[in-house]
Amino acid sequence: MMFTMPILSNKPTVAIIGAGAAGLMAADYLSQFDVTIQVFEQKPSPARKLLMAGKSGLNISHAEPLGTFVSRYTPDDWLTPHLHALNAEHICKFMANLGIESFVGSTGRIFPSMMKASPLLRAWLNKLQAAKVHFFYRHSCQAITDNQATFRVTDQAPFSQTFDAIILATGGMSWSRLGSDGKWQAWLNDDELTPFYPSNVGICRAWSQHLTHDFGKAIKRVKASVVLPNGDVESGFGDIILTHYGMESGLIYRLNRAMREQLEHKGTMALTLDLLPDIRTEKLLASLTSPKKQSLSNLWRKAGLDPVKIALLREIVPKSDWHDAQTMSLAIKNLVIAFDGFRPIDEAISCGGGVKRQALNQDFSLKSNPSVFCCGEMLDWDAPTGGYLLTACFATGVRAAQGVQAYLADSPHLAGHGNAVA
């Protein structure tokens, strides 16, 4: 690929590093002002993580009450005003303006009606290009110094360019093959960063050979609970997938935060499962004390357990207890499973950690470099799946862009509009 020199302009020039959800939303907001917008993406195409999310339907937001919605985030107050300013209602209107209708699923999750990301992205890029937003792909940012960014294009020599403002929308460290590799951390000081950690990710336990044939199968309709260090209990209902490394599912992801807190405080973490949440312990005990002579598997099946749940019980409960109805009824309703930790960050749907709240001004500019603004998953916040991740990326992208607009308006003396430095 031949290098194309970025467009020069007499208007203020804003660089957006990263063409993901946050970067595109920042560009969208700024496109209404008289500024030159240049979006730099190290991959050959934009929004790869958004497209990946769209393969399973693109859960773009959530329709639950806003007060409940904002409570899903950690910390639960930092993003609140920005999520009020751009929430599910605004996102649905935004999509509608692009010609993309949406609907609310049975669990409150919001999806585009076509259940794909590609039509939305295509319409969005068309809008941005019509607004004269300039995209530069295969441009890998190597460094940020003051208001200057250094790029490398494939195997060509690096070049630097100064801007009137820079928005970093470079993502976290999950799914690095899609562009979020975390290399940008080298541009900041250590005291501006919280180390990244995997979020919305599977949990690890070494199973015996006994469970091998059940890998990939679902433990259906269970209640899962985690006891927090302060004694509180966080719970949820749903399905869990048995894997070769442990467990995963949306339910597991929702409990990641509680399990991580448990691990940090106790050095261990455990999940408690109620395998039959719709059956009272007394009724279960009665089923397990049947006077009829029958096999254990048949007895457990009649009590309501399917083969996967039976296999898990055999894995966790000592064989000496299998014939004890009292012990087994308690185990079925209160099966405690210890886990060793979490899968690697590159397998995580998202990650926590990143640029500290304390390192940023209210407008999401860096205190150490006020011409540079940060947004999206590179910020130190965490949230479960369910539309929360994308909504926060959109909201912080808008907030960073608002900060840039105010910064430019207050700084008419700024120079360096698009000046390229070899």
Residue pLDDT, tens place only, 181-229: 999 999 999 999 999 999 999 999 999 999 999 999 999 999 999 999 9
Most confident stretch, 88-102, 281-295, 399-413: 88-102
Report pLDDT digits (tens) over 307-329.
Answer: 999 999 999 999 999 999 999 99
- Predicted confidence (pLDDT) at residue 7 exceeds the cutoff of 80: no
- Single out the residue of 310, 343, 340, 346 nearest to residue 328, CA to CA: 310
- Predicted confidence (pLDDT) per residue in 276-298, tens digit: 999 999 999 999 997 777 889 89
Backbone angles phi, psi at 248, to 5 degrees: -155, 160
DSSP 347-395: GSSEEEEEE-GGGB-TTSEETTEEEEEE-GGGBS-B--SSSHHHHHHHH
Q: Kindly give the pairing relationship between strand 36-41 and strand 134-137.
A: parallel
Share of the chain above pLDDT 90, in %: 88
State the pLDDT at residue 149: 98
pLDDT at 421 exceeding the cut of 80 = no
What pLDDT, in 10s, does the model give residues 29-76?
A: 999 999 999 999 999 999 999 998 877 789 999 999 999 999 999 998
| Cα(325)–Cα(401) distance, integer angstroms | 62
C-alpha distances out from residue 409 to 34, 398, 406, Å: 11, 16, 5
User: Three-class SS of residue 31?
Assistant: coil
pTM of the model: 0.90
pLDDT score of 420 more than 50: no
Can you give the pLDDT at residue 294? 85
Residue 57 has a pLDDT of 86
* pLDDT at residue 231, as a whole number: 93
Strand-strand pairing, 269-274 and 218-227: antiparallel
List domains and CATH numbers for the chain: 13-197+352-421 (3.50.50.60), 203-342 (no CATH)
CA 46, CA 197: separation in Å to the nearest integer?
Answer: 25
Mean pLDDT, range 254-270, rounded to an integer: 94
Question: Residue 186: what pLDDT?
Answer: 96
Res 1: pLDDT: 33
Taking the C-alpha atoms of residue 46 and residue 41, their distance in angstroms, rounded to an integer, is 7
Tell me which DSSP letter residue 2 carries. Answer: -
pLDDT over 70 percentage in the chain: 95
The contacts of residue 291 (CB under 8 Å, 6+ apart) are: none
Contact between 40 and 136 under an 8 Å Cβ cutoff? The reply is yes
Average pLDDT, the chain: 93
Provide mean pLDDT across the span 152-164.
93
DSSP class per residue in 113-144: TTS-SHHHHHHHHHHHHHTT-EEEESEEEEEE
pLDDT surpassing 80 at residue 15: yes
Q: What is the per-residue pLDDT for 53?
A: 84
